[in-house]
Structure 1
Amino acid sequence: MNNQDWQKLKQSANGIPTNESLIPYVLNAVKDGEIVTNRVIRKRVIDTLQIPDSILMIKYPNYPDSDGILVNRFSFAISSLYIAGLIERPRRGVYKITDSGLSILNKYGDTLTKKILEELPAFKKYKQELAIRNERTGNKLSITEIDQEKVDIESLVTNQNNEIAIELLNKVRQVNPSFFESLVVDLLVSMGYSGKNGDAKITNRSNDGGIDGIINQDPLGTSTVYIQAKRYMEGNTVGRPAIQSFYGALAGVNADRGVFITTSNFSGGAQEFAKNQGIVLIDGIKLTELMMQYGVGIEVAKVYRQFRIDNDYFENEL
């Protein structure tokens, strides 16, 4: 890094380095290739740039008990590098530079900007999916494109949850097929499909006949949901033949209710055939939306309370 003076970084109105200005220094902090925590990354950058405690102690006015604005901006810088595929997360809370990250760092050094990251294929793919998720959830703001200090909390939380959903989908795509089948059964049970006294099970993989899971919604099995689960990587679209094959498997057990779940998406032909045959399709985006809604594979990080005046209470004033 040519620059080692934090005061030369681009700063916001309150004198704190911006998210973008921290990006090259965060990447440089992991250049040796070891696995490190975000706390170690922050310390290395702070030491390199000699950022004083007076800057570290600045908090958001409405959140005086938070970690501070600069710590939050480190998180955004790390997130941007992760999205761009320049660092990876071997496990929760730790990071490691990728080959692409080392190449980019050697090429740009401290001239690396958010704009350069956004031109990388991984970042473009991420923004496309985030746009789809924000549209589905009615969120018109993308925090990756604007200063988070100027965004209302609801939009911020929605956007961050959509970002978590993208990471969740990537993680689901990496699990083994058997685990994925168990996951989708767990999800449907969490959604209440097994009923009060029903049961759910994974079929024998060697003889499932195209059916991966079965949910009996009542003890007698008179109302049954059959599941097919396909863990596909992004771009491996499920076509009409796969849905036709599932329909044949349903016919083989005299079933009229089926759910086809995938981590990718469905072709137009697949959607048309499924609609005509009463088969429910759940693509990767919908899958992770449901997982987050019903608490499968995720946990609540923080809860914020927002207050408003109870005008009904004051109507009783004498």
Structure 2
Amino acid sequence: MDYQQLKLGKHGLPTWDALAPIVLKLAEQQTEWHGRALNAAVADDLNLPAILRQLTYPNQQNIIEDRAGWAVSELTTAGLLRRTRRGFYGATDLGRQVLHGLNQLVDRNVIHQQPKYSQHQQDLQERQTRNQISPAPELEVDETENTISLDQLTQQVKGYNAEVATDLLQRIRESAPEFFENLVVDLLSAMGYKGPNGSAWVTQLSNDGGIDGVINQDALGTSTVYVQAKRYEAENTVQRPAIDSFYGALSRNHADRGVFITTSSFSKKAVETAKGFSIVLVDGIQLTELMLQYHVGVQVKRQFEVFEIDQDFFED
């Protein structure tokens, strides 16, 4: 591969979308690739001069491998690659079709036109609207004080976390139903519903009676929360009959409280019905917001402390 024939960006290296067809070409040659190995293989395929192949950012991250990683991430979001297991990727049938069935290059436009990518962007926009997150501008330094606005910094952090939560929701939608049921029970336990002496479990799939999870809030089980978990694609909106069915399951268990959690959303009729039955509804966006808040399925990447002068200290 002559890298100079590709679209080049900063540092004279190919852009991430110029690397996308190479990623797909290599990905389909094996059942799965470890992400770092795939990034390195893409970089090696370019036959770059040593000085460009070894070029790094100030943090020592290899630049061309980092761009290959961006291509892997975008292709995965678009459904052209899939995560086969932790840290590993493989080509999807859609990815192979796009690679071999188009008379145009697999570039940024082709990737961003894929339905899964469009849904990802819709989820992100809805999340930003709910949380009143403005599109994060580039951080600007106040030349008069040589400072960065805390409001700017806050918006940057919120925007980053919104991206993480949106990616998290896509991963959950790709998971097995039983994984999702365990996840929601873990989340509600982390939120404190289990209490210090309570218990929580996922019901048997073959005989759950419309109940996916049970949380006893005390040792004797005198206060119990029943859970329904539906792992749906975004377009599969939960309708009123599903709420009616869950209410019937609660009634059979003589329960007065239930939580219905989905990775999609709820119709207006479903929301109205749930209010009448005292059923708490949690949609996909709220689910992942709660996961970030209670550190379920995520870990803190970095923490910052922001200081200001203690005026009282100097006035005493």
Q: TM-score normalized by structure 2?
A: 0.80
Alignment CA distance shift 1:308-1:15 (3 Å)? farther
1:110-139 deviations in Å (ceiling 9; x for gaps): 832110122222322222223223333444
The one-letter code of the counterpart of 2:37 is V
Between the aligned partners of 2:207 and 2:102, the Cα distance in structure 1 is 54
- Aligned residues between the structures: 301
Alignment CA distance shift 1:182-1:46 (3 Å)? closer
Unaligned runs of 5+ in 2: 139-151
Q: Does the 8 A contact of 1:22 with 1:74 survive in 2? A: yes
Determine if the alignment matches structure 1 residue 290 to structure 2 residue 287. Answer: no
The one-letter code of the counterpart of 1:235 is E
Q: Does the 8 A contact of 1:199 with 1:217 survive in 2? A: yes
Determine if the alignment matches structure 1 residue 168 to structure 2 residue 166. Answer: no
Report what 2:23 is aligned to: 26
Between the aligned partners of 1:273 and 1:308, the Cα distance in structure 2 is 45
Q: Does the 8 A contact of 1:260 with 1:279 survive in 2? A: yes
The one of 64, 74, 83 aligned to 1:89 = 83
Determine if the alignment matches structure 1 residue 184 to structure 2 residue 184. Answer: yes
The one of 146, 156, 161 aligned to 1:158 = 161
Q: Does the 8 A contact of 2:263 with 2:284 survive in 1? A: yes
Q: TM-score normalized by structure 1?
A: 0.79
Q: Does the 8 A contact of 1:86 with 1:98 survive in 2? A: yes
SS in 1 for 2:64: helix
Between the aligned partners of 1:102 and 1:15, the Cα distance in structure 2 is 29
SS in 1 for 2:196: coil
The one of 48, 51, 57 aligned to 2:48 = 51
Between the aligned partners of 2:40 and 2:246, the Cα distance in structure 1 is 54
Determine if the alignment matches structure 1 residue 123 to structure 2 residue 122. Answer: no
Deviation at 1:264, TM superposition (A): 2.9
Alignment CA distance shift 1:232-1:115 (3 Å)? closer
SS in 1 for 2:261: strand
Report what 1:312 is aligned to: 310
Between the aligned partners of 2:221 and 2:40, the Cα distance in structure 1 is 59
Determine if the alignment matches structure 1 residue 211 to structure 2 residue 211. Answer: yes
Q: Does the 8 A contact of 1:165 with 1:289 survive in 2? A: no
Alignment CA distance shift 1:6-1:99 (3 Å)? same
SS in 2 for 1:29: helix
Deviation at 1:274, TM superposition (A): 0.7
Between the aligned partners of 2:303 and 2:257, the Cα distance in structure 1 is 41
Unaligned runs of 5+ in 1: none
Alignment CA distance shift 1:34-1:252 (3 Å)? closer
Report what 1:36 is aligned to: 33
What fraction of aligned residue pairs are identical, expressed as a percent?
Answer: 42
Between the aligned partners of 1:66 and 1:155, the Cα distance in structure 2 is 26
Between the aligned partners of 1:210 and 1:31, the Cα distance in structure 2 is 41
Between the aligned partners of 1:254 and 1:106, the Cα distance in structure 2 is 57
Alignment CA distance shift 1:156-1:248 (3 Å)? closer
Deviation at 1:192, TM superposition (A): 0.3
Report what 2:247 is aligned to: 247
Between the aligned partners of 1:43 and 1:109, the Cα distance in structure 2 is 27
Deviation at 1:314, TM superposition (A): 11
Between the aligned partners of 1:109 and 1:36, the Cα distance in structure 2 is 27
Between the aligned partners of 1:25 and 1:253, the Cα distance in structure 2 is 56
Deviation at 1:214, TM superposition (A): 2.6
- Aligned alpha-carbon RMSD (Å): 3.3
SS in 2 for 1:154: helix
SS in 2 for 1:122: helix
Deviation at 1:227, TM superposition (A): 1.9
